[in-house]
Amino acid sequence: MDDQEKALRFYTEKLGFITKQDVPMGEARWVTVASPDAPDEVELLLEPNDNPALNGAARAFQQAMFANNIPAAAFAVDDIHGEYERMRGRGVRFTMGPTQMGPVIVAVLDDTCGNLIHLFQPAPQPEP
């Protein structure tokens, strides 16, 4: 992430996550968000990508992932069309709307912080 505060606002205000941890760590912070439906389960770390010890590797990796349309994370949803509309209503920019890809329906959003995020849901299966 280029800007932790911007990332925190996006993930909480636009996507609906809750702030789980926000601990000062020198110039940066240890910031995590979680689903409000499962706050004690998986946390997403909003890690800065400018750590000088990595000599630019984190930023280069992030840029390569984005340029090659590879998601930084993927989240399962129960109603991808509903989530797509809800998030678009909050100003989220999607690079791909809900699209069936084999056994799943996928949508791709830009988190405004240099990452692509996939939303996915199992596609309805035809009746036998």
Rounded Cα distance, 114 and 67, in Å = 10
Sorted by where each starts, the structural domains of the chain and their CATH numbers stand as 4-122 (3.10.180.10)
Q: What is the pLDDT of residues 81-93, one digit of tens each?
A: 999 999 999 999 9
Start-end of H helices in the chain: 4-9, 57-67, 80-89
Rounded Cα distance, 43 and 14, in Å = 17
What is the structure's pLDDT at 55? 75
pTM of model > 0.75: yes
What is the structure's pLDDT at 50? 78
Q: Which residues contact 22 (CB under 8 A, 6 or more apart)?
A: 8, 29, 30, 31, 32
Rounded Cα distance, 7 and 111, in Å = 8
Confidence of residue 25 (pLDDT cuts 50, 70, 90): confident
Q: What is the pLDDT of residues 60-117, one digit of tens each?
A: 899 999 999 999 999 999 999 999 999 999 999 999 999 999 999 999 999 999 999 9
Tell me which of 47 and 9 has the higher pLDDT.
Answer: 9
Under 8 Å between Cβ of 62 and 79: no
Start-end of H helices in 20-113: 57-67, 80-89
Burial (CB < 10 A; 0-12, 13-18, 19+), residue 72, is middle
